[in-house]
Amino acid sequence: MISKNLTAASTKPIILGILKQGTSYGYLIIKKIKELSGGKMKYSDGMLYPVLHRLEKDGLIESKWVMEDDSARPRKYYEITEAGKQELVQEQQQWSQVNAVLNTIWDVKPSTT
Amino acid sequence: MFDLEKSIRLWLRAFRKYRAFGHGSIREMELHVRDHIDDLMADGHSERSAFELAVAEFGEVPAMADEAFLNYRRKTTLRSIIFNTMVKNYSKTSLRGLMKNPLTSFINIFGLSVAIGFCLLVYVFIQYDYDIDQFHENKNEIYLTTFFVDRDGEERHYVSAPAPLALHLKDDFEQFRNVCRVEDRDVVMKFEDNVFHEQVRYVDPAFLDMFTFPLQWGASGSLNDINSIILSADMALKYFGTENPLGKDIQMIFREGDSKIFKVSGVAKPFPKARTIDFDFLINFKNLNASDLAFDANDWGTFLSGTFIQVDENAEVGKITDRMAAYRSFQNEGQSDWAITSFGLERLSNLHFATAKIRDDISFDYNAEARLGLPVVALIMLGLACFNYINIALVSATKRLKEIGVRKVIGANKRSVVVQFLTENLVITFFALLIGLFLALTLIIPWFRGLSGDPLKVDFLNLNLWIFMAATMLLTAVVSGVYPAFYISKFDAVKIFKGSIKFGKKSPLTKIFLGAQLVLTCAGIACAILFIQNNEYQNNQSWGYNQNGILYLNLPDSSSFDRLEAAMLDNKNILSISGAQDHLGITHRTSVLRRPDRNFEVDHLSVSPNYLKTMEIEVLVGRSFKDRSENDKRSIVVNELLLEKLKLSDPLGAEFEMDSIKYEVIGVVKDFHSYNFYHELRPTMFTVAEEKEYNYFIARAREGAHKEIYLELRRKWIDLFPEIPFQGGHQEDTWAGFYAQLDTAEHFYKVLSIMAIMLASLGLYGLVNLNVAGRTKEFSIRKVLGAGVSSLSKNVVKEYALLAIVSLSIGIPLSYYMGIATLDMLYAYRVPVTPLPLIMAVMILLIILLAVVSTQIGKVIKSNPVEGLRLEK
């Protein structure tokens, strides 16, 4: 199980990453995260929304209400903006760097002396 | 039984407790849970378990609210500041503060109320002024034709259009929707026993299509009938009472023995109050030939009161006037005295404001003085009130230092102290606005209405009024409150508690504000006194001839002069009788005197030979006209000013041409005023009139007998002209309107100066009171150490003496120049300026200052020093 803090820290790149693949709405985003993490990332569904709204306020994503023909319910669809895409690139770099540092550390054999 | 919908509703209710969740986000979350429940039920869960699972996975509401609030809190809007801090909290403290210091609150609120009340008056006045003649639906399509004439190098603008102009315009300009001639004439109206002198407007039938004067009875088309007459609502009431007069006959008497019966075919609805163009009676223009046998509609030498055209709203006026230039030749051929340089068009919507620059205008503008003066007065009053407020706020802050310190210690930052003070200010201004509105409605506006006669009305349905009031309130609150608020908020809490802030007493800014207030008050009082003095001067100024004992009558026709003269000749109390075509102070003609090289426009009075003697106009050089002298029919007598303009070294015998006839100057008279003193003297000349042309009968009564003669004239009139109402009076009454205006102005200035004095006194009193109160301990120590009355007084007076000297030395020259500039603008002949108003203003100010300071000194002297020392401060 992935820790709460780490989950929280990774929310932003995950959401941006999912939205980069196409527009989506809250319930679908959560579902996707759960699928991808194989249930290892523990999430309260509700915590997603404040994050989405903050990203929107920061101009990284945009939203609009859509009434789909095949559904009885309207959905609030989110879409990544250009600024969001740039932000995602930076996040990717940062996470890769963290990953690289961790890999390097863990690859070093324990000193025998 | 599990009710899913109800459960969802209950669950959502938990979110609504938090302001962080807007309607949109709650809806979004609801949809999320519903989707989730659908999915779970599809996987085989029951409704209840699906709901419980979905809600559990959704998470705890308070945690979400905290997270969401992070987004929410960063949104600091103006609204949130106002609602979170100001209204809730500070209005309460402001109200408490107001109650705690009733005197300062009263001074602040009262001063601001009077000033705001005055601002409202100005608003209502300006609104009225800008509404004038704006009710006409076609106001942007109707133009008044005007023309320009070159007078000795100076271009002059006139309204009275040549009579044939309208006919040409109608023929030549197809795009004109309407063309309408307007001519006003005096007649006598008779219906049964009601007989009055009236003015009738002769118009083309298009008049009522062009202007918006709806009828309450009858049809506007009836003007096409030359026997129809349309009345204003006032005139219908005057002659027929409240009954419908349609179809009734009314007799119009043009002159004795010549009249016409008209049928009332329409009555207008009461006119809007804000107007300068209207009518009493309207009849078809063609009737002009009946009333004036000499009238020729095709004569370019005949001028009408006005000619209006109506065009499409986007018509290019410049092109029209360019084409109209072609008519100049018609006019200029026969009328070389009135050679037109160009034609102009003045839009109806703009006519009221343009009127001051145009001669013989059909509309008028009595508001120019007030339009300029009132806003200045209101601003000075508002300025005084704001200075009062700033001073008192700064000084009263010394009493509230601890409060500010405590607020700062428990976490208030600079901004919240500023907000607190501004809120207090807003509360005060709000009260001031309410009281100001009350004062404006009950006192200020009714007072001004009575004074000026302007039909001012406060229209609460007018959105602009509310915007204006809100703007005045906010502006006043900000102007008077920003400086004190920022100044006070800067204090350091630690210094406050250590007592090392000595503020208010020595602050140079308090002094500057107080100084500014003194300067304004000084200027206000000095100007008021100067104006009152000037009024006195105008009241006593000589008209240049002897008005006392002069009586005048309007004659009904050419033979009436002889009959009246014969009837009055035996009267021993009459010193002299004259006739005149034009009478001084009432009418004159404008004529052009020509020399080969130059021409002069002059006021022209045609009179009987002994007119100058009757009026007691002094002849300086040469002589007056001789009785029954054929030669003198080609003679002129000029006034000093005309002589000066003519630049003749030897005026007697100089020759001029007028209407192609040669005239010779035989005398020069002392300057006299044909207009009131707002206007400059004009070059004027007299010629001898034919007896049949006399329009006026003028008599000089023996001293003390003029009332008796007046009654005698009335009696004889009734015998001689029973059909025609008497029209005449005392020469002094000619200027009754002018003197009434002077009285009005004097009243206005007096009230203003009293208000300025009151505002300044209140402010000074508040300030000195606070200042002395703040030094109670100091004075107590001085007293204990043996300071006497004089030493204490010196100490208090010292504070203000220098300030008074400095501000008066600025205020005195300022008032001097302001006063003179204003008088010069308004009056052609003003009172010579003496130091008296300035001395009086300074005296008044010093007396106020002394009175205020001495009451406080008295307080200090009477106070018990032990009590003073016990004070915690």
C-alpha–C-alpha distance, residues B413 and B489, integer Å: 8
- What is the tally of helices (H) and strands (E) in chain A? 4, 3
pLDDT confidence of residue B507: 62
- Residues in chain A closer than 8 A to B31 (CB atoms): 26-27, 73-76
C-alpha–C-alpha distance, residues B98 and B431, integer Å: 11
* CB pair distance less than 8 Å for A47 and B71: no
B86-100, B347-361, B725-739, B822-836: range with lowest mean pLDDT? B86-100
CA distance A59 to chain B (A): 13
C-alpha–C-alpha distance, residues B736 and B730, integer Å: 10
* B309 phi/psi in degrees, rounded to 5: -125, 155
pLDDT at B583 over 70: yes
- Residues in chain B closer than 8 A to A27 (CB atoms): 31-32, 35-36
- List CB contacts of B258: < 8 A, sequence separation 6 or more: none
DSSP state of B618: P
pLDDT at A111 over 70: no
pLDDT at A98 over 80: yes
* CB pair distance less than 8 Å for B36 and A75: no
Residue A54 sits at the chain B interface (C-beta within 8 Å)? yes
* CB pair distance less than 8 Å for A73 and B31: yes
- Residues in chain A closer than 8 A to B28 (CB atoms): 26, 49, 76
CA distance B30 to chain A (A): 10
Residue A59 sits at the chain B interface (C-beta within 8 Å)? no
C-alpha–C-alpha distance, residues B55 and A25, integer Å: 18
Pair B580, B711 in one domain: yes
Q: How confident is the model at residue B444 (pLDDT cuts 50, 70, 90)?
A: confident
**Per-residue pLDDT reduced to its tens digit, B675-691:** 888 788 889 999 999 88
- List CB contacts of B726: < 8 A, sequence separation 6 or more: B553, B713, B714, B717, B718
Pair B818, B749 in one domain: yes
What is residue B147's three-state secondary structure?
strand
The pair of structure tokens assigned to B397 is 């802050």
DSSP states of A30-85: HHHHHHHHTT-B---GGGHHHHHHHHHHTTSEEEEEEE-TT-SSEEEEEEE-HHHH
- List CB contacts of B315: < 8 A, sequence separation 6 or more: B141, B175
Pair B674, B635 in one domain: yes
| In chain B, % of residues over pLDDT 90 | 19
Comparing C-alpha atoms, which of B591, B574, B608, B569 is closest to residue B696? B608
Comparing C-alpha atoms, which of B482, B474, B472 is closest to residue B421? B482
C-alpha–C-alpha distance, residues B870 and B873, integer Å: 9
C-alpha–C-alpha distance, residues A25 and A20, integer Å: 13
Comparing C-alpha atoms, which of B656, B706, B719, B714 is closest to residue B685? B656
Pick from B702, B723, B744: which residue ends a domain?
B723
pLDDT confidence of residue B81: 62
Query: Residue B59: which of A46, A51, A54 has the nearest Cβ?
Result: A46
Pair B529, B614 in one domain: no
pLDDT confidence of residue B505: 52
Residue A51 sits at the chain B interface (C-beta within 8 Å)? yes
Flag whether B356 is in a domain. no
Domain count, chain B: 5
Chain centroid offset of residue B185 CA: 30
Q: Which domain holds residue A46?
A: 4-107
Q: Which of A35, A45, A61, A73 is the mutation pick for testing B, counting most B CBs within 10 A?
A: A45
Residue A46 sits at the chain B interface (C-beta within 8 Å)? yes
pLDDT at B209 over 80: yes
Q: Are strands B661-669 and B635-639 parallel, antiparallel or unpaired?
A: parallel
Query: Residue A50: which of B36, B54, B68 has the nearest Cβ?
Result: B68
C-alpha–C-alpha distance, residues A12 and A51, integer Å: 8
The pair of structure tokens assigned to B408 is 């700062």
Which residue type sits at A44? S
Residue A71 sits at the chain B interface (C-beta within 8 Å)? no
Which one is predicted more confidently, B204 or B774?
B204
* CB pair distance less than 8 Å for B64 and A51: no
A48-52, B80-84, B568-572: range with lowest mean pLDDT? B80-84
CA distance A92 to chain B (A): 24
* CB pair distance less than 8 Å for A45 and B57: yes
**Chain A: residue whose CA lies nearest to B59:** A44
DSSP state of B197: E
Q: Scanning the structure block, which residue is given the tokens 């109800």?
A: B6
Flag whether B551 is in a domain. no
ipTM over 0.85: yes
What is residue B40's three-state secondary structure?
helix
Q: How confident is the model at residue B89 (pLDDT cuts 50, 70, 90)?
A: low
Other C-beta atoms closer than 10 Å to the C-beta of B704 total: 10
The CATH code of the domain that includes A68 is 1.10.10.10
pLDDT at B614 over 80: yes
Flag whether A51 is in a domain. yes
Pair B746, B813 in one domain: yes
* CB pair distance less than 8 Å for B67 and A47: yes
pLDDT confidence of residue B504: 47
Pair B223, B342 in one domain: yes
Flag whether A112 is in a domain. no
Query: Residue B29: which of A49, A54, A75 has the nearest Cβ?
Result: A49
CA distance A73 to chain B (A): 7
Other C-beta atoms closer than 10 Å to the C-beta of B832 total: 7
Pairs of residues, one from chain A and one from chain B, whose beta carbons lie less than 8 Å apart: 57
C-alpha–C-alpha distance, residues B354 and B350, integer Å: 6
**Chain B: residue whose CA lies nearest to A57:** B71
Q: Scanning the structure block, which residue is given the tokens 């609204």?
A: B79
pLDDT confidence of residue A112: 53
Which one is predicted more confidently, B635 or B481?
B635
Flag whether B708 is in a domain. yes
pLDDT at B815 over 50: yes
Residue A109 sits at the chain B interface (C-beta within 8 Å)? no
pLDDT confidence of residue B197: 86
Domain count, chain A: 1
* CB pair distance less than 8 Å for B67 and A73: no
Comparing C-alpha atoms, which of B69, B18, B23, B27 is closest to residue A50? B69
Comparing C-alpha atoms, which of A67, A75, A60, A59 is closest to residue A15? A60
* CB pair distance less than 8 Å for B68 and A76: no
- Residues in chain A closer than 8 A to B63 (CB atoms): 44, 47
C-alpha–C-alpha distance, residues B815 and B813, integer Å: 5
Strands (E), B679-827: 684-688, 696-701, 728-730
CA distance A57 to chain B (A): 8
Average of per-residue pLDDT values in chain B: 84
Q: How confident is the model at residue B771 (pLDDT cuts 50, 70, 90)?
A: confident
Partners of B686 in the beta sheet? B605, B637
Comparing C-alpha atoms, which of B406, B392, B400, B451 is closest to residue B109? B392
Q: Are B481 and B425 spatial neighbours (Cβ–Cβ below 8 Å)? A: yes
What is residue B637's three-state secondary structure?
strand
Question: In angstroms, how far is the first alpha carbon of chain B from the final one?
Answer: 73
**Which residue numbers of B have CB closer than 8 Å to A's CBs?**
24-25, 28-29, 31-32, 34-36, 54, 57-61, 63-64, 67-68, 70-71
Pair B759, B675 in one domain: no
- Across B149-153, B232-236, B364-368, B828-832, which has the greatest mean pLDDT? B232-236
Flag whether B548 is in a domain. no
The pair of structure tokens assigned to B115 is 């000033």
| In chain B, % of residues over pLDDT 70 | 95
B262-266, B384-388, B464-468: range with lowest mean pLDDT? B384-388
- Average pLDDT for residues B719-746, to the nearest whole number? 83
pLDDT at B696 over 90: yes
- Average pLDDT for residues B761-765, to the nearest whole number? 76
B312-321, B432-441, B756-765: range with lowest mean pLDDT? B756-765
Pair B65, B96 in one domain: no
Contacts 24+ apart (CB under 8 A), B48-53: B48/B2, B51/B2, B51/B4, B51/B7, B51/B8
Q: Which domain holds residue B858?
A: 505-542+734-873
What is residue B59's three-state secondary structure?
coil
pLDDT confidence of residue B356: 73
Query: Residue A53: which of B31, B60, B71 has the nearest Cβ?
Result: B71
* CB pair distance less than 8 Å for A46 and B64: yes
Query: Residue B71: which of A44, A57, A75 has the nearest Cβ?
Result: A57
- List CB contacts of B358: < 8 A, sequence separation 6 or more: B146, B157, B158, B159, B346
Pair B66, B182 in one domain: no
Flag whether B233 is in a domain. yes
What is residue B672's three-state secondary structure?
coil
Which one is predicted more confidently, B835 or B391?
B835
Other C-beta atoms closer than 10 Å to the C-beta of A96 total: 10
Query: Residue B31: which of A44, A53, A75 has the nearest Cβ?
Result: A75
**Chain B: residue whose CA lies nearest to A27:** B32
Q: Are B145 and B161 spatial neighbours (Cβ–Cβ below 8 Å)? A: yes
B562-566, B618-622, B780-784: range with lowest mean pLDDT? B780-784
C-alpha–C-alpha distance, residues B688 and B156, integer Å: 28
Indicate the Cα dihedral angle B506, B509, B510, B516, nearest 10°.
Answer: 140
**Selected residues 2-41 of chain A with any CB under 8 Å from a CB in chain B:** 26-27, 30
* CB pair distance less than 8 Å for A49 and B64: yes
Pair B245, B385 in one domain: no
Q: Scanning the structure block, which residue is given the tokens 């009696």?
A: B715
Distances from the Cα of B49 to the Cα of B38, B55, B714, angstroms? 12, 10, 112
Flag whether B396 is in a domain. yes
pLDDT at B331 over 50: yes
Q: Are B116 and B476 spatial neighbours (Cβ–Cβ below 8 Å)? A: yes
pLDDT confidence of residue B873: 47
CA distance A71 to chain B (A): 11
- Average pLDDT for residues B818-835, to the nearest whole number? 81
Query: Residue A27: which of B36, B63, B68 has the nearest Cβ?
Result: B36
- Average pLDDT for residues B400-415, to the nearest whole number? 78
- Residues in chain A closer than 8 A to B58 (CB atoms): 44-46
Flag whether A113 is in a domain. no
CA distance A60 to chain B (A): 14
pLDDT at B659 over 50: yes
Query: Residue A73: which of B24, B34, B63 has the nearest Cβ?
Result: B34
CA distance B28 to chain A (A): 7
Question: In angstroms, how far is the first alpha carbon of chain A from the final one?
Answer: 35
Other C-beta atoms closer than 10 Å to the C-beta of B481 total: 23
B130-144, B171-185, B845-859: range with lowest mean pLDDT? B845-859
The pair of structure tokens assigned to B311 is 């065009």
pLDDT at A100 over 50: yes
* CB pair distance less than 8 Å for A73 and B29: no
- Average pLDDT for residues B107-135, to the nearest whole number? 87
Which one is predicted more confidently, B74 or B350?
B350
Flag whether B362 is in a domain. no
Q: How confident is the model at residue B82 (pLDDT cuts 50, 70, 90)?
A: low
pLDDT confidence of residue A90: 92
pLDDT confidence of residue B232: 94
Indicate the Cα dihedral angle A54, A57, A59, A60, nearest 10°.
Answer: 20
- Residues in chain B closer than 8 A to A50 (CB atoms): 64, 67-68, 70-71
Other C-beta atoms closer than 10 Å to the C-beta of A109 total: 5
